[in-house]
Amino acid sequence: MTEDSPNKQKLTTASGRPYVEHENTQSVGNRGPLLLQDFILHEKMAHFNRERIPERVVHAKGTGAYGTFKVTQDISQYTKAKIFNQIGKECKIFLRFSTVGGEKGSADSERDPRGFALRLYTEDGNWDIVGNNTPVFFVKDPKKFSDFIHTQKRDPRTNLKSPTMMWDFWSLNPESLHQVMILMSDRGTPYSYRHMDGFGSHTFSMINAANERVWVKFHFKTQQGIQNFTGPEADAMRSQDMDHAQRDLVDAIDRKEFPKWSVKIQVMTAQEAKIFRWNPFDLTKVWPHGEFPLIDVGEIELNEIPKNYFAHVEQAAFAPTNQVDGIGFSPDRMLQGRILSYPDAARHRLGVNYEQLSVNACPFITNNFHRDGAMRFDDNGNDSPNYFPNSFGDVAPDLAYKEPAQELDSSLADWYDRNHGEGDNDHYTQPGNLYRNVMNEAERKNLVNNIVTAMSGVSGPKRDQIINLQLCHWFRADIALGMAIAKGLGVDVESAVPKQHS
């Protein structure tokens, strides 16, 4: 404490040295040049120049909160994960919501999928479920991901968002139709993060104590009720409050109206996967609930806004590689690609030691042979061996955590087309069912209006080609849908309806 200010802390440099002149730089006389020796100026400006870490390429705009996960049902027949070994068991969680395509300063109410990235700090390590507010995605092979994201960003010549790029890509990739339909519905503009469902989206595996494997999908059903903006309401909110979803979450938790989600899973056996009419590992498809009903697992509650946004929300780095014993991967192509890309993105954005940051660190013991690297701010392993095997330490693999071998369908490696298998090129049945059987009349009307508005932005010499090709996809999903969109766009139906339907 300073003598004249007993209730205040000393002002210090980053190294801890107290100093006084925080606002005035040392100079030669009142109007003379500044002195190089005033290192406080250097420290302030150098740190300021580096305050912005690289923005996330996707999911740049987001918010997050801490909370708890509580087990409500026994699912030990499916998994040996320790987090599920007792009804009533709880663990700390961190949940980050985000928009996908916009920059960090974009509006929360943009028409965009929403990220739903959940971390559970379990006794067996951190478990990340990195999903969205939709059960499907635009593409099914990770090689196409960067191309897709480029179409959602800015035109390289105009530096403007381009409806032409988006619809050109979608029209040439009919596998995107299911997700595009969801995006163009009112579900593409959630009222808030609290009022939307979340999905693990990918197919994962669960392994029980008998080393039996089943395939699973994760669902997070909001207990606040689904609420969405219509297209015009979302447009209006962008001009009223660009941070509406951020403000809504913070204010709700500050009011102690803690948002909750019911955690559920779908389960598919290996035999069911072999005879399922679609590829169960295809991220553009869902598992119908009538065939694979939702099973209750637990509940998550958000009850703590981080005290510092940057330290926790901005520096959070999720990765589907963060699994725990009893939870595993699947042959889902997009999941396999994210296993590589997500940790790689975090190392680029935050540095190789990003998992030591408090929001990313496992709160329980960790042992490995990683050493050094930028920003290594723990004890760096002290004097323990940095190699394995060795004759001096006591860190060794525990064979109890070994996963059972997985039987593969083929031993032939090739560049298989993503639509190679039976049913893989059926891009229309599920979107059609969504339109006919799930949406009500008002939702269908809003969907058509949103699609017409979005497709009206297509321009350039390829405009008619792009629109007609995309219309063919809408027609194949549902004739009435295609007719309504064609009418809204003023397109001659005879030129747009495909000769044959698949």
Q: Which residues are catalytic, by number?
A: 59, 132
Residue 120: its H or E element? strand 114-122
**Separation CA 18–CA 5 (nearest Å):** 14
Strands of 223-331 (E only): list them.
260-268, 295-304, 327-328
Q: Dihedral of the CA atoms 269, 271, 276, 282 (nearest 10)?
A: 60
**Separation CA 427–CA 214 (nearest Å):** 26
**Separation CA 132–CA 200 (nearest Å):** 7
* Chain center to CA of 128: 10
The answer to whether 109 and 189 have CB atoms below 8 angstroms apart is yes
* Termini Cα distance of the chain: 77
User: Hey, what are 336's tokens?
Assistant: 């396999």
**Separation CA 144–CA 285 (nearest Å):** 17
The answer to whether 469 and 172 have CB atoms below 8 angstroms apart is yes
**Separation CA 481–CA 478 (nearest Å):** 5
Look at the block and give the residue holding tokens 């067996």.
Answer: 124
**Separation CA 495–CA 23 (nearest Å):** 70
The answer to whether 471 and 486 have CB atoms below 8 angstroms apart is yes
Residue 303: its H or E element? strand 295-304
User: Hey, what are 71's tokens?
Assistant: 């087990």
What is the β-pairing status of strands 198-199 and 213-222? antiparallel
User: Hey, what are 231's tokens?
Assistant: 């297209």
The answer to whether 258 and 310 have CB atoms below 8 angstroms apart is no
Smallest CA-to-CA distance from 116 within 223, 22, 222 is with 222
DSSP state of 221: E
Q: Dihedral of the CA atoms 381, 384, 388, 391 (nearest 10)?
A: -170
The answer to whether 267 and 215 have CB atoms below 8 angstroms apart is yes
The answer to whether 360 and 64 have CB atoms below 8 angstroms apart is no
**Separation CA 286–CA 289 (nearest Å):** 9
What is the β-pairing status of strands 213-222 and 295-304? unpaired
Look at the block and give the residue holding tokens 């302030």.
Answer: 44
**CA Rg, the chain, in Å?**
26
